[in-house]
Structure 1
Amino acid sequence: MENVRATTRPAFWLMLSVILVALNLRPSMAAVGPLLSGIRGDITLSFSDAALLTMLPVMAMGLAMFFGVRIGQRLGEHRSVVISLLVIGLATLSRLFLDSTAELILSAVLAGLGIALIQALMPALIKSRFPDNVSLFMGLYVTSIMGGAAVAASFAPLVMSRTGSWRLGLAIWAALAVLALLFWYAQRAAMPKLPGAAIHHEAFAGNRRAWLLAIFFGLGTASYTCVLAWLAPYYVEQGWSEQNAGLLLGFLTAMEVVSGLVTPAIANRRQDRRLVLVALLVLIIAGFCGLILSPQHLSLLWPCLLGLGIGGLFPMSLILSLDHLDNPCRAGGLTAFVQGIGYLIAGLSPLLAGIIRDRLGSFEWAWWSLTAVMALMILMVLRFDPRHYHRHFQ
């Protein structure tokens, strides 16, 4: 019994540290939307320019994914995360002193690079350290990512209204990086050593299933990034205050947290994930339709449906990739490739939606476009039969 407790204790503290690190992976983006009207009142910023604040960090995350695993091998997983947290914290803190659109965008890109390095390493670390409960712990990790977004979206407008400064509303989240850094640094002795050769020498760019998984992840994440960037501004245009619109986005991300915890636990009971994936996509479609057709009526229902769908789809897309390979190193390499391509795809969605808003004067056509994309993804889900996984990766 004492040996079990001795083994469980380090695992608990490691997972707690992973959760605190994950809380830092979205506030730099999630705080922007609810504060957009305040930012635009101080800095000249079109909707297309504002889209860059979400698009460029997501694109940077995608590009950095291809180098993140190799950097992690060279520096070590523990040191890589420490450096990434420092980059995220400093990029976030720098927003206290910004005076131009270019400086704001640069801070977003730097934060995106730090975020990418962490996201490239965590799936392989979790699969290696918690091999018997990958779905559960991936759910906790991804849920924590969305939890960070929920906290930032909900409280950034409150900070701005209390202090009169949108800069402080963006910069205050550097405190989360300091907290995570303290806990993560204390785990340096408990970190598993992951062999790097399998990832270093295996390329997935020539594998059609890897591309299908990447496109699926990218299209699903496009709905997440677009909603993160534009839901609050959409409701501000409907006549809501910045604080109420931010709280609505916070409510949506809270629903993502709930779904991110519950969905992987449900899916963990069986190897075939297709039914769960289809159900999540149907929820997202229903949420977008409600957002378009009746934004002012049942205004909590549509974000609830979107949050439940998106919140479950994000971890399930990563779990789907991990399911294809048993070896933690190969699976980590696959998820890095999937996220790299996926974030490049997803990064375009806020920009396209911003252009649509500038040209047509409404976000509604952006929501319709995402609805069509979710319908296409339902057809893609049919390809993910677990009985055939072994055929795609020899």
Structure 2
Amino acid sequence: MFKKKEVLLLILGIIFVSSTLRAPITSVGPVIDQIGSRLNLSSTLLGSLTTIPLLMFALISPSVAGVSAKFGMSKTLFCSTIVLLIGLLIRVIPNPLFLFLGTVLIGIGIAFGNVIFPSFIKWRFPSQMGVMTGIYTLMMTMFGGVGSGFSVPLSHVGHGGYQFALGFWVILCIFALIVWLPQLKTNPKIVVEKSDRKIYKSKLAVCVALMMGFQSMLFFCMATWIPSILMSYGFSKQTAGYFMMLSIFSQLPMNFIVPVIASKLKDQRILAYAYTLLFIIGFSLLFTQTFVLTIIAMIILGLASGSAFSLCMLTFSLRAKTTQDAIELSGFSQGLGYLVAATGPVLFGWLKDYTGHFESCIFAFLIVTVIFFVFSYISCKNRYIFD
């Protein structure tokens, strides 16, 4: 009975902590105009609110394995959630300095969770990696969608404005800390020993990192530019926001289903073919500029994004023999991957300014999709990074 209670508390902890890893970022976009008006910020500075977390992911991820080796995964996750909480509190102070400082801390806090969870799940649930990865990615995506969809309504509550919309997630963070507390006592400290092997010398590890990078580039470029593309087609800002929320929530079934399927396959390349086809169909339908086909496009893109993200997260475990290898691969892949991803929103913005229209961005989405497929195909073959 005790063991069942312990496992239940652990699963609840994973659910609550993972739910804090996307909403603090996705909640910014819908109220970015309010932030700019209140703090008198330029479009370039406002755009950096998306780029800063990605850069923090890139800078912090490679060091997560070392920190975990010293403090253990459970304690590190708890402390990183506290950093996230502090960042959320600082970010709502109506001053540009605190806005960006809070954003930096939020990026640091989330970076630890991003890296640790895949290897934590491999260690704690070795025979249920697919199911638990599905739960983890499902919660990330679901609350990411909630953060995007409810940010504007929350900003209209009382006179809270964007500060209430962004600060609302403090509540979720506090709940996550409370629910995770038992893990500090019941889970033993997990030490990740140092290794003389250089992960960057593994060609497979580099491919996994680039797979992660181009998947993240697609996601963040979609979150940044798809609403603007839709508004350029004549859709209202509110309608464009609903379309994005539809796309995010369309990811949910794939977040759970794909890891379960992938964990039972020796070779996951068939899944890479599947989500690549979905991406190509979805982006191509955006050229039609019609209401019904745009709805279909956003649903298809959601299915593709959910599949791609979940498989990326599971790949850190599938391509590693041990928990140590998994956290090294996760840290390296997310460090390099998010560095690649951080260039995406800026490059897409430059492309739009250079060509004068958003159709060029859709072509760019298709090109990135093909590149993403190449690295997915290589990474999804059944082998290990240090073989």
- TM-score where L is the length of structure 1: 0.91
Aligned mate of 2:207, from 193, 196, 212: 212
CA distance in 2, matches of 1:380, 1:26: 24
Give the Å deviation of 1:178. Answer: 0.7
Aligned mate of 2:255, from 255, 260, 273: 260
Give the Å deviation of 1:345. Answer: 0.8
Give the Å deviation of 1:75. Answer: 2.3
Residue 393, structure 1, aligned to residue 352, structure 2: no
> SS in structure 2 opposite 1:194?
coil
Q: Say whether the 8 Å CA contact 1:64–1:340 is kept in structure 2.
A: yes
Task: Report the count of equivalent residues.
Answer: 386
CA gap 1:186/1:240 in 2 versus in 1, 3 angstroms: farther
Residue 224, structure 1, aligned to residue 227, structure 2: no
> SS in structure 1 opposite 2:265?
coil
**Seq. identity, %:** 24
CA gap 1:354/1:190 in 2 versus in 1, 3 angstroms: farther
Q: Which residue of 1 aligns with 2:164?
A: 168
Q: Which residue of 1 aligns with 2:119?
A: 124
Residue 139, structure 1, aligned to residue 120, structure 2: no
What is the alpha-carbon root mean square deviation over aligned residues? 2.2
Q: Which residue of 1 aligns with 2:72?
A: 76
Amino acid aligned to 2:55: M
Q: Which residue of 1 aligns with 2:151?
A: 156
Amino acid aligned to 1:393: F
Uncovered stretches (5+) of structure 1, i.e. residues with no partner: none
CA distance in 1, matches of 2:380, 2:237: 44
CA distance in 2, matches of 1:83, 1:212: 31
Q: Which residue of 2 aligns with 1:9?
A: 5
Residue 320, structure 1, aligned to residue 325, structure 2: no
Q: Say whether the 8 Å CA contact 1:157–1:242 is kept in structure 2.
A: no
> SS in structure 2 opposite 1:193?
coil
Q: Which residue of 2 aligns with 1:383?
A: 378
Amino acid aligned to 2:386: F
CA distance in 1, matches of 2:43, 2:354: 10
Report Cα offsets for 1:108-159 as digits up to 9, x if no partner: 2210011111222111111000000112211211221111211100110111
Amino acid aligned to 2:203: R
Residue 56, structure 1, aligned to residue 52, structure 2: yes
CA gap 1:286/1:179 in 2 versus in 1, 3 angstroms: same
Give the Å deviation of 1:184. Answer: 0.7
Report Cα offsets for 1:264-299 as digits up to 9, x if no partner: 122233221101121012112222222243264423
Q: Say whether the 8 Å CA contact 1:129–1:192 is kept in structure 2.
A: no
Report Cα offsets for 1:224-249 as digits up to 9, x if no partner: 11122233344344444444433322
Between 56-65 and 76-85, the greater mean CA deviation after superposition: 76-85
Aligned mate of 1:24, from 11, 20, 38: 20
Report Cα offsets for 1:174-224 as digits up to 9, x if no partner: 111111011011322222432311x55443011111111111110011111
Uncovered stretches (5+) of structure 2, i.e. residues with no partner: none
> SS in structure 1 opposite 2:156?
helix
> SS in structure 2 opposite 1:271?
coil
CA distance in 1, matches of 2:55, 2:112: 13
Give the Å deviation of 1:47. Answer: 4.1
CA distance in 2, matches of 1:234, 1:89: 33
Report Cα offsets for 1:20-43 as digits up to 9, x if no partner: 111111122101221223333334
CA gap 1:40/1:245 in 2 versus in 1, 3 angstroms: farther
Q: How does 1:173-212 map to 2 (within 5 A)?
A: 173-197=169-193, 199=194, 201-212=196-207
Between 152-161 and 317-326, the greater mean CA deviation after superposition: 317-326
- TM-score where L is the length of structure 2: 0.92
Give the Å deviation of 1:67. Answer: 0.9
Give the Å deviation of 1:69. Answer: 1.6
